[in-house]
Structures are given as C-alpha cells and as structure tokens.
Structure 1
Amino acid sequence: MATYVLIFINIGQKMITNKLDTEFWVITDTHLIANQLHDNGPAFKQIQSTSQGKDLVYQEIALRAFCKFANEKKPAAIIVTGDVTFNGELLSAQRFQKIFSSLTDTKLFLLPGNHDIFDGWARSFSNDQQLYTKQISPTDWRNIFHESYDHAWATDSSSLAYSIQLNPQYLLLMLDTNIYGQKEALRSPVTAGFIGEMQLAWLEKQLKFAQKHNLYPLLFMHHNLYVHNPAVNHGFVIDNASSLSQLCQKYDVKLAFSGHIHAQNIVKPQPNIPTTEIVTSSFCSFDQAYGLVKVKKNQIRYQRQTFNMRPYLSAEEQKSYILTHFHNYLKDIQLKNLTHNMTQKDKNSGQKINKFFIEANYNYFTGHNHINEKKLIQLYNSEQYRLLTKYQPKLGRYLQTLFDTTDHSNLNIQINFKEKQNE
C-alpha cells in the first residue's frame, strides 16, 4: 500500500496539467525522412514514386508549420502513435525531435511504429544510389525522445512502453506493439505487431493502479486492437489482440488510439469489449489529418481535423505553389500511386472507372466513406462498378470494403465515463 501511495504522489507531481478541461492532439505515421538523407535525385524520386502515397519531400516543412500552429493553439500534448520516421533512420528521429523542440507550451509524447526501430530498410539517397544509414536502436529512441520518458511515472523495462498522467482523471498508456530484434537488421521491417508477456504484465499493473486511484486509462499504440478493413487487416491487428482485449474488458478500458493502417476509422465497442478504437489517418498523406481530443470531466470528444499549413509557412515557402496548395499535391500523389501499376491500356480504357475507384479510395482513407444501404445498392448497380469488376476484378472486390454502413461517424465521437467516487 505504501508503494502505491508513493507512486501516486510521484504521478501527481508529473501531471501534464491539473486542469480537468484540456485538450491534446493525436497524429500518426508521419514517416519523416530527414532532408540531409537525400538529394532529391533519381534514387530518391524512385522511392517517392513507390511510397504508397506518402509525401517524403516536404515533411520537414509540414511538421515545422504544425509546431507553429500548436504554439498558437497550445494543446496540452501532441501524441504520435508510431512510424515517426520513414524507415527507421537515426538522423530522421533526431531531426523530428529538433523540429518539435520548438514547442513552447505543449508536451510531445511518442511511441514507435514498425518502421522505427532496427529497420533494415534505413537508407540515404545520393544520385542514383541507395546507401546504408544508421538505424535507431531502443536506446537511441529513449535518448532522442528522453523528454517523453522524463515525464513518465512508469516505464516497462522489456519494451519502450511508458505511462503518463494527463490530468487528475486520465492515465495515458503508451504501448510498444512492435516486433524488432536486439541489433541492427538486414531485412525489411516486420509489419505485424505483438505485445510480449512482460509488457502485458506491466500494462496490467498500470490498469490496476488506475482502477485503484480512480483514473481513466487511455491506450495508445501503433498496431490495431480491432479489424478496420475486412480485406486488409493481416499484419495490422496485433497478433495477440485477444490478450489485450481481455485486459480491456477486465479493467473497463473505454478508449484506444492507434495508427498503422493510414486510414481514418473508428470502431465502437465489440461484444464483451468496452473499448472504442480510433485511428487517425496518416499525417504525411491525403489532407494532413490530426485528431483533436477535447477532455472534460468524465468525457472525451474526438474530432478529426485537417491542418492548413499555409498561414504558418515562411515568406520564402509561400512562394511555392505546391506548399500553398499542399492538399492538392497530396491528392495528386495518391492518384499517381493508384495508377502506378496500371498498364497504359487500363489507363486509356478505364478513365471513368479509375476516377470512380480513386474517389472511393480517397474517401475511405479520409473517413468520408459512410453510405446508406439504398445508395450502396445503387452504386453496385452502376455502370462504373460493373466495368470495374469486369476489367479489374481485384479492385472491385477491394472496393466493396471501402464503404461504411454503420450508424456512427468515422470523423468524430464522444466517450462518456462513469463517475468515479474517491476512496
């Protein structure tokens, strides 16, 4: 009992804010590659063209602008749910920390994604060559982002997990769901996620503590607790999600935030699991989304927002058409990504169906994919859909997974917590 009292005093001293009404922001999958790691030459341009719609060229500018925006709005914290770097380059992590060191009234908390720690794909790019660059070790991660861990009241010795007390009501549990080795890797990063037994035991201790001291636990992780797309989920849902679900059920965990899939999606509580899971779409793609999380006594409201960086660009940056029309540029990257593997015959014969598919795909990834059953039937009976399934059957089957007929939004949600009585 004395130990718990001591810890409780410690976390009280380390609270991010003592305000019951506050807010924090969530971003994910920033995939920053430091500018010093490339010359924008042929090798780098080839990587950009095959990056699955991620912007790799302007993220330093975008993140600097985002920090200026945060300094104006002053959220209590910005939380990044993994894939901070493009492919685990040490210099990219150091650059990310340097950019966010400009925050004045906002704390930065990060957790790693599957591309961050000992990623064998870490490269620099010079002319037409890809060159080895130093990877991020777990020790590097803790050292670079030490301020996140300095604010922790508990850390897990078996992983990079840690916990933060946001305010008098909420405990933030930052999990490490990634699979990596003990030394630099030679192979591609592991897409799948897993929470080891020691980290699960550590997590349960934090949940017990939260329960004992009337704190609401919020989970943050890179991989997903739930299936967010019936066709594309292998490697995205944590391999031992059932173990995490049991803890969520046992300790009544109401809310989890994750990333990894790059798509905006909300899954409400499942049978015997009280947890709502929110995934915010990738910050380096689509329309620069971030999650605005407003915290009140016994209530949390999440709202997807898009960042307009134009007002926060320097005078020199304002001269760039791409930077002042950045969302158009990001959408164009998506278009090029989706048409990259199509033959010229496909492109010529299927302009209508390609536009149809591209719009549906974009709406899915930005969370604007709700449709009622009547309109869905009309869509399946349309000429565009018939042509798509005829000429590109794989895309036709994938398209069926992009529409959401649930009764809730993927853009916003309110979570209410039961009033807890002080002991």
Structure 2
Amino acid sequence: MQRFLFKLKRFIFTLIFLCTILSFLVAKDYTIVHASDIHFLSHRIAEVDEHFMKVIQNADGKVTHLTPELTSAFVYDMLKLKPDAIILSGDLTLNGALESHEDLIKTLKPLVKANIPVLVIPGNHDCDGSAYVFKDNETYEIDSITSSDFLKLYKDFGYSNTILDNHSLSYFYKLSDKLWILMLDVNANATFYRVKDESLVWLEENLKKAKKEGALVISSTHQPLTIHNKRFTFGYQVSNSNEVLPLLKKYGVKLNLSGHLHLQHITKEDSFVDIAASSLVVSPNQYGIIKIKDNKLISYETKSVDVSAWAKSNNINSSELLNFSSYSESFFDNTTINKLKGKVESIKGLSSSEVQLALNYAAKLNREYFAGHVKANKNDAGWKLWEEKLSNVSFYSYLYSIVNENKEDNTRLIF
C-alpha cells in the first residue's frame, strides 16, 4: 500500500511539473484595448457656462464638457473587461493643461492598481504648446506642460521598465517575451509629426531584437502611418511615414493603432493594417478590442463606452449621462448643422423642408463616416437634393467623397 501511495504521489508531482512546463510553452491569449483622442478637460479649468458651450457647440462634435465623466465610465468598463493592456494613442488632453493631465492620471489610476498596463504617448495637443482656461464666460491662455513634464507625469503609464528612446518619448513595452508593443512618439519636443533620424536607428535596432526573439510587435502612433482620406493628407499622418512604414514591414509588423483624425477608419497596404480610431469623446464614443491567439492577430472590433451603466452604478441623476448615447449622437449632429446652416439657408429656391432635409442628411452622413460604418447611398433623397441643388456648397465635395467611398465596415476586422 505504501509503495502504491509513493508511486501515486510521484505520478501527481510529475503531472504537475509537466503541466507547468506546458503552460510556458503554450502561447497565451491576449486582449488589448485601444482608445485615442480623449481630449480630457479638467472641470477645474472649465466652467460649463454660456461662452464655453458656444465654443464646443461650434467645434468638431466632442462632448468636451463631459470628458471627466466619460473617462470614468471608460475606466469602469475596463475594470470589468480586464484587458491585458490598454493603449491610449495620444491627445490625452484637450490642450495640455497641467490640471487636465493631473485629473486624467487620477482617473486612470484604478487601472494601474488593478495591474492593467496603461500605455500612453503624447499627441499634438498634449505638451509644448498653449493651453486654455474657460472661466467667467471668457477664454484665457496659459502654458501647457512640457515634454519632460509629460515623461514625469506618466511614469506609471508605460514609461517605467521599458526600452525607452533617448531622443523622443517613444518606447517598447514588453507585455511578454513574445508580445512587444511599440509606442512611437512624433509629437514631443516639437518634432512636427516626424520620427527623428536618431529614433529611426533606435527603432531598427529594437525591431531586429524583437524579430530575433520571435516576438509579435504591435505599433501605435498618434498620427496614422497611412492616408485615410485623400482630402486630408498634410498634417494628418506621420510626416516621414515613407521611412517608418518600410522599416516596420521589414521586421514583420502588421498592425499600427493610431488616432488624430477622430475618424474610425481602416487601411490595408499589402499585409500591413493601420487602424485610425475615432475619438473616444465623439459619438459613438468607442474603443477598439484586439484579440491575439497563439501569438497571432485574430480580430478587431469596436465597442461603445457604457456611460449610462456607469452613471446608474454611481447613482448619478443626470439625463445627459443616463441617456448618453443619444445625447452624444445629437450633440455631434448639431455641431455639423451649426456649421452648415447659414450656407444651406443662403441657397436660393430651397424650401424650409429642403433646408431641413439637407442639414439632417449631411449630419447623419458625417456621423456615420466618423463612426466607421456608412449606410447612406446615392439613392437617398438627401443625397439627390445635395447633388441637384447644393453642389456649389463647399461641404458637397466632402459628402461626395463619403458617398463614393467603398462602404466597408471600419469597426471590425478579421486578420
């Protein structure tokens, strides 16, 4: 009996040992979340008064006055999802004010405490420029933080225990030995959207190491590496992408996660994919979820932040937050209408119903385009009206480019 028990124990120990070894050999599945262009604005430097609301209602559709609440709701979602990493690809704040950076970091801290790596890079609105305070129905200019400030403030958000570039705020983050994330900075220290020559050397050296170690590399930039709309070129991509992109392809990088455009759009160039994420603070307020299995990219899809669930869980009695999805959508549409109303109404011969149809159609088409899934087509009454009576309005050429673009769904992808 004792001999049998001895053999049984030895068998069990051997089995445990083999299972442990096997767990190291079998590749781990990963879930990575990507969000961009939070444009966080601290309530400490923004009074939601008539002047402030007029500014943002005539801007680009961001629910700027609700960025602290929206970001808190995003953190709430992430604590439930528990991804292996979160990538925030720049324009973390509206204009680089210290107060906004400090309050954003405070909001994101629960993710770090939950051992969820949050990786950031600066966008063109985050440092080395002018910031603004909105108070007493006025706008006041102040200094933004510097690039060195950014590095110190975000030391717990990717900048510790990483392979850091000495010439920029770029770094490689090893999520594991077999999965590296490249956060490529082109905005700090007034680089004008360009990867410096010294940084290109650093980049190739580490891409070579990653390839030698058999690691999958996912890159992230603020500005995209490819053109996502032919109308928006200069200033809308990494300025020396003609040098960066071949380098990434050479070492087998197949995915770049970007933002900047506030447009949800996917481009494919050979086997390389650049996903420009829509702004988190623009309807439908979505983030991307990337699935990786056996060290291979599997899928990408977007999901909207559930602000109403967060509001309910915190007993917040605000109609804007409890009905956030419809509120954000209407807010975006109204900013489009505000920009176009005067131009459309100035067209002679349009009835009031035609004016309304033209404005509503333009707002809907613009929103669908930014959300990444256009459903409109050339047979729509709104489009026929624009084509027949409003083709001289400058916005027409933009709408034309959308209607005639390939109607692929840019909110999901199977690699």
Could you say which TM-score interval applies, normalised by the shorter chain? 0.7 to 0.9
Among candidates 304, 308, 316, match of residue 318 of structure 1: 316
Alpha-carbon distance in structure 2 between the residues aligned to 1:323 and 1:352:
29
1:279 aligns with 2:276: yes
The CA RMSD measured in Å over matched residues stands at 2.3
Superposed displacement of residue 237, structure 1? 1.4
Alpha-carbon contact 2:37-2:89 (below 8 Å) kept: yes
Q: Is 1:23–1:76's contact at 8 Å kept on the other side of the alignment?
A: yes
Number of residue equivalences: 380
In 2, the alpha carbon distance for the partners of 1:100 and 1:388 equals 49
Matched, 1:101 2:109: yes
Deviation readout 1:50-69 (Å, 9 max, x if unpaired) = 33111111111111122122
The answer on whether the counterparts of 1:293 and 1:302 sit within 8 Å (CA) in structure 2 is yes
CA distance in 1, matches of 2:219, 2:135: 40
Secondary structure of the 2:126 match is coil
SS at match of 1:302: strand
Query: Highest CA radius of gyration, 1 or 2?
Result: 2
Which stretch of the first structure deviates more once superposed, 127-136 or 317-326? 127-136
Partner of 1:164: 173
Q: Contact 2:162–2:173 (CA<8 Å) still a contact in 1?
A: yes
Give the match for residue 116 of structure 1.
126
Cα distance, 1:276 vs structure 2: 0.5
Give the Cα–Cα distance (whole angstroms) in 2 for the partners of residues 345 and 259 of structure 1. Answer: 30
In 1, distance between residues paired with 2:340 and 2:374?
A: 24
Confirm whether residue 362 of structure 1 aligns to residue 345 of structure 2: no
Aligned residue number for residue 201 of structure 2? 201
Counterpart Cα distance in 1 of 2:409 and 2:78: 26
Pairing 1:119-198 to 2, within 5 Å after superposition? 119-120=129-130, 122-178=131-187, 180-181=189-190, 193-198=193-198
Distance 2:99 2:186 in 1: 23
Question: What is the aligned partner in structure 1 of residue 385 from structure 2?
Answer: 384
What is the percentage of aligned positions where both structures have the same residue? 24
CA separation in 1, counterparts of 2:261 and 2:399? Answer: 16
Residue 357 of structure 2 corresponds to which residue in structure 1? 352
Contact 1:74 1:105 in 2 (8 A): no
User: Are the equivalent residues in 1 in contact too, given 2:67–2:281 (CA < 8 A)?
Assistant: yes
1:108/1:162 Cα in 2 relative to 1: closer, same or farther (>3 Å)? Answer: same
Partners in 2 of 1:382 and 1:342 — Cα distance?
15
Shift of 1:316: 6.2
Partner in structure 2 of residue 14 of structure 1: none
Normalised TM-score (structure 1): 0.84
After superposition, the Cα gap between the structure-2 partners of 1:213 and 1:322, relative to the gap in structure 1 and judged at 3 Å, is: same
C-alpha distance 19-87 of structure 1, shift in aligned 2 (>3 A): farther
Q: Distance in 2 between matches of 1:365 and 1:282?
A: 9
**AA at the equivalent of 2:294:** K
Report deviation, 1:275.
1.4
- Aligned ranges for residues 37-116 of structure 1 at < 5 Å? 37-103=45-111, 104-116=114-126
Distance in structure 2 (CA, Å) of the matches to 1:242 and 1:88 = 29
The 8 Å contact of residues 379 and 385 in structure 1, kept in 2 or not, is answered as no
Deviations along 1:193-237, whole A, 9 cap, x unmatched? 211111111111121111111112111010011110111222111
Determine which of 294, 297, 306 is the counterpart of 1:297: 294
- Displacement of 1:264: 0.5
Cα deviation, 1:359-388, whole Å, max 9, x if unaligned, reads 1111111111267xxx55x45995323245
Gaps of 5+ in 1: 1-17, 182-189, 416-423
Q: How far apart, in 2, do the equivalents of 1:140 and 1:205 lie? A: 27
- Following superposition, the deviation at residue 179 of structure 1 comes to 6.0
- The 3 A distance-change label for structure 1 pair 359 and 42 is closer
